[in-house]
Structure 1
């Protein structure tokens, strides 16, 4: 799994984005467990993720309501199948309101730019 840390900071919150090839929901859960073995990610406030598999879309907000759908829509627009993307947020103490969705989108854009076409 490729991870890009400290890509966005806002009002104390920090973001990272990770991803890997993934062909099923069980693969996604295995990859998430592997990411969570890193203490830093296990202590994160949210690890929201999504993946488009042959059997359909799978997403998880991990408490960040709507985050999984934002990631899923971006995967659909890019036509990126069988690739898990996880956006991690460490809450900084101040609510971000709608800005949190812009940060999730930017994190996914950063990841997509890094992995290339």
Structure 2
């Protein structure tokens, strides 16, 4: 599991991105469970994630509607299969509107550029 913290900060919201190889839906759930064992990530407002598996994409918005699909599209574009990417957000008190999707994209880009 690789975690890149403090990727983005905007109007009080803070973002981190993490990921690692997974081979099944069960592996994906175990990955998120392991991430959330870290108290900081368990207290996050959203842990949005996606992975491309042989049986198709798997994603979870975790309350950040539409963000999982943003990650799926980026993984598809880059041809990254079997590697879960999770964008974590700690809400800072001010709504970000559409900027939240730009931040998810930017966080995933930072992660993929470092693969």
Q: Does structure 1 residue 102 correspond to structure 2 residue 102?
A: yes
Question: What are the within-5 Å matches in structure 2 for residues 58-69 of structure 1?
Answer: 58-69=58-69
Q: TM-score scaled to structure 1, two decimals?
A: 0.97
| Aligned-residue offset at 1:21 | 0.4
Q: In 1, Cα distance between the equivalents of 2:32 and 2:9?
A: 23
Alignment-derived partner of residue 92 in structure 1: 92
Flag structure 2 segments of 5+ consecutive residues without an equivalent.
none
| 1:4 CA drift (Å) | 0.2
**Matched residue, 1:26:** 26
Aligned residues: 115
Superposed displacement of residue 110, structure 1 = 0.1
Q: Deviations over 1:51-81 (max 9, x none)?
A: 0001111000000000100000000000000
Secondary structure of 1:70 counterpart: helix
RMSD (Å), alpha carbons: 0.4
CA distance in 2, matches of 1:23, 1:70: 21
Give the drift of 1:114. Answer: 1.1
What CA distance in whole angstroms lies between the structure 1 residues aligned with 2:68 and 2:7? Answer: 19
Gaps of 5+ in 1: none
